[in-house]
Chains A and B, each alone.
Chain A
Amino acid sequence: MALAQVKQNATEARLDSMTLPEGGCLKAARAAALSRVQTMGLPTRRDEYWKYTRPDTLVQPGAPKASLFKTDESMMFSGVSRLKIVFVDGVFDPEQSDDLEMEGVRIDRLEDICCKDIHWAKDVYGVLEARGQTPVERPLAALNTAFAEDGVAIHVFGKPSKPISLIYQHSDENSDAMLHNVVRVETGAEATILENGPAASRFNKCMEMDIADGGVLHHVRAQGRDHERRAATYMFARLGKESVYKSFTLTVNGVLTRNEQVVELTGDDAVAHVAGACVGDGDFHHDDTVFITHDAVNCESRQVFKKVLRNGATGVFQGKILVKEGAQKTDGYQISQSLLLDDDSQFLAKPELEIYADDVACSHGSTSGAIDETALYYLRSRGVPVDEATALLTLAFLAEAVEEIEDDGLAEGIVSRLEGWLARRR
């Protein structure tokens, strides 16, 4: 069978298994997204950006079963004062959620944006995703725009006092969830969005973030630990003049994770930092795919990704900086590193730079290595047992990524989660 036919069959099989939601005011956006999916086809292993990560279980109709992970450890961010919005297997749970009221922000459920006539959300929904399809196709994100029924619209016009915390619980071993969140940060406004939890057996999540001039958005996420869960997540950010977007993701286990970040710097002097730390064991497969477009003057972007892999775990990093014509004074930095705790694990990296302006400073680096034996010996010679010394050096390796989190309290929470992982695996 011809390749195109294989792709088409797989796409049709998936689409046949789903029903397009009643559109309301999003009808046109959903229809357009559906036709994008049909035109592109869902990903196969042959697609350029899916060479290192098998998309089949993300594409197939129905989610592979994923058992629930039982733990006594408190949930991530549980000590943080925050506004909680809870989804169980991808469905909003009003019982566990807080009142969606807070100063400086308005939060609505996706299903309400039509009846409440929330204009800005209609202008963002599917729009940033569609922009993010060129030059690299992201058909699973278009699938999300077409079919996602739940999610929230977050309109930040002030400086809310607490983070907005999206909590994704997993309760059904066969759940197949899609969520679509849209965010608009107005001029001079500032907010922090937290995300945590395994979400579902299979999770497809799309978040579109439109950040106006001078707006600031912090994003800190901890992806759930259920060993068998799968996730494909998409963060689309568009940044106006002097705006700031800083995103950090911690991933601890999960059999398959594909995190895409698509960031467009459209206004001068904007700043985008995306960072990630992941630790994985065994059949863990973790993929960060990042695309940052500089389309304005004097913008700064940073990508800092660190992966700790053991027992045959696989890490993937595909990161690109595209500097468009005229995007002078661009400062672009990218680093991706893996720490391989044994010979079975592997790290596959594809760093890319594409530059069409002459006055730019861009650098990228990628390394893969084992624990520094000399440092290990030094620590042990001071009496630190080998496991503890290894854990200390592992945390030190991850520190550069964790330091990207501006809020010290949130960073400490992330570090203690990492310490927990290391302690369990001694």
Chain B
Amino acid sequence: MLEIKNLHVKLEEEDKEILKGVDLTIEAGKVHAIMGPNGSGKSTLSYVLSGRDGYEVTEGSATLEGEELLELEPEERAALGMFLAFQYPVEIPGVGNMTFLRTAVNAQRKARGEEELSAAEFLKVVRAKAKTLKIDAEMLKRPVNVGFSGGEKKRNEILQMAMLEPKMCILDETDSGLDVDAMKLVSEGVNALRDAGRGFLVITHYQRLLDHIKPDVVHIMADGRIVKSGGPELALEVEHNGYADILAEVA
């Protein structure tokens, strides 16, 4: 599904290398988790994959189902099935959440040569999915993320993911800011989307989320590289011992 090879990324504005050769392959149907100390480059990886400005790829490649991603515009990547649930979802005053969702869904359908959803169909689908995430009608009417609590913003990201049905889902600290119940809702939302044709990359600091969304593979990222990969037990080790042992072992 997603194949990242020797990815080197520096900031466009300054001479600072952030990703220093990331190798990562995520197969369809699998859930991979990335953990790692603050500032190790996890969000940067997710931004570079989704096409944010400000980064320069100096080496390496990333493909989604064989298509080279890094040359594409963000909207083209989205149409191919790339989705990022943001660590810090963006507030957009003046754009209604519903308008935003409908515009996004229809833009992707159009890009793939599919029929746009009618207003009625769309409404039906969005209401049903919002309900399972406990997002009420009022939140759908409000401007995108404006005045949403931290947890509401994260649930709104998952709603977008559920509506867009992407192939490759990257979740950047979707668990941070969630209360225990919301964590369950969000996890159920993610698990409902798990299927053989879809890959997940879950960035998190805590084992807690991985209790709900069971990963197939866990990676540790440090200083711009994947330094260790293993099974779910690797997350438990981090939970108990922190990163010190792992970092010492690979150093």
List residues of A whose CB falls within 8 A of some B CB. 372-375, 377-386, 388-389, 392-393, 395-397, 399-400
Contact = CB atoms under 8 A, between A and B. Distances in A.
A389 B92 CA distance: 11
Contacts of A374: 90
Given A372-B92, A384-B103, 14 more contacts: A373-B53, A377-B52, A379-B100, A379-B104, A380-B75, A381-B52, A381-B74, A381-B77, A382-B160, A383-B79, A385-B107, A393-B95, A395-B95, A396-B143
A377 B160 CA distance: 15
A378 B90 contact: yes
A374 B54 CA distance: 11
Interface in B43-67: 50-53
Nearest to B108: A383
B75 A385 contact: yes
B92 A393 contact: yes
B75 A375 contact: no
A29 B25 CA distance: 84
Contacts of B103: 379, 384, 388, 392
A381 B94 contact: no
Contacts of A396: 92-95, 143
A380 B164 contact: no
B111 interface: yes
30 contacts: A374-B90, A375-B90, A377-B51, A378-B89, A378-B92, A379-B92, A379-B100, A379-B103, A380-B74, A380-B78, A381-B74, A381-B83, A382-B78, A382-B100, A383-B104, A383-B108, A383-B164, A384-B75, A384-B103, A386-B75, A388-B103, A389-B75, A393-B92, A393-B94, A393-B95, A395-B95, A396-B92, A396-B93, A397-B94, A400-B94
A399 B92 CA distance: 12
**Chain B interface extent, by class:** 20 to 34
Interface string B143-177: 10000000000000000100010000000000000
B210 to A, nearest CB: 25
A78 B89 CA distance: 41
A392 B89 CA distance: 18
B84 interface: yes
A383 B53 contact: no
A383 B116 CA distance: 14
B104 A382 contact: yes
B176 to A, nearest CB: 18
B179 interface: no
B73 interface: yes
A377 B107 contact: no
Contact of B50 (A372, A373, A381): A381
Nearest to A403: B94
Contacts of A372: 92
A54 B83 CA distance: 51
B122 interface: no
Given A373-B53, A377-B53, A378-B86, A383 B94 contact: no
B73 A388 contact: no
Contacts of B83: 381
B191 to A, nearest CB: 22
Given A375-B90, A377-B53, A377-B74, A384 B107 contact: yes
Of A373, A381, A399, A400, most buried by chain B (CB within 10 Å of CB) is: A381
Contacts of B90: 374-375, 377-378
B61 to A, nearest CB: 20
Contacts of B50: 381
Contacts of A400: 94
Of A383, A385, A397, most buried by chain B (CB within 10 Å of CB) is: A383
Given A381-B78, A388-B107, A375 B92 contact: yes
B111 A383 contact: yes
Nearest to B50: A381
Nearest to B103: A384
A400 B160 CA distance: 26
Contacts of A395: 94-95
A399 B94 contact: yes
Contact of B104 (A375, A377, A384, A399): A384
Contacts of A397: 94
Contacts of B107: 382-385, 388
Nearest to B99: A392
Contacts of B92: 372, 375, 378-379, 393, 396
A374 B75 CA distance: 14
Contacts of B99: 392
Of B94, B107, B111, B143, most buried by chain A (CB within 10 Å of CB) is: B94
* 7 smallest beta-carbon distances between A and B, as pairs: A396-B94, A383-B78, A380-B74, A382-B104, A383-B108, A378-B90, A399-B94
Contacts of B104: 379, 382-384
Nearest to A385: B75
A381 B93 contact: no
A344 B75 CA distance: 27
A300 B143 CA distance: 27
Contacts of A375: 90-92
Nearest to B101: A382
A378 B89 CA distance: 8
A407 to B, nearest CB: 19
A386 B73 contact: yes
A373 B53 CA distance: 9
Contacts of B91: 375
A364 B77 CA distance: 42
A392 B95 contact: yes
Nearest to A389: B75
B233 to A, nearest CB: 33
Nearest to A400: B94
A305 to B, nearest CB: 16
Interface in B22-53: 50-53
Contacts of B93: 396
A389 B107 CA distance: 10
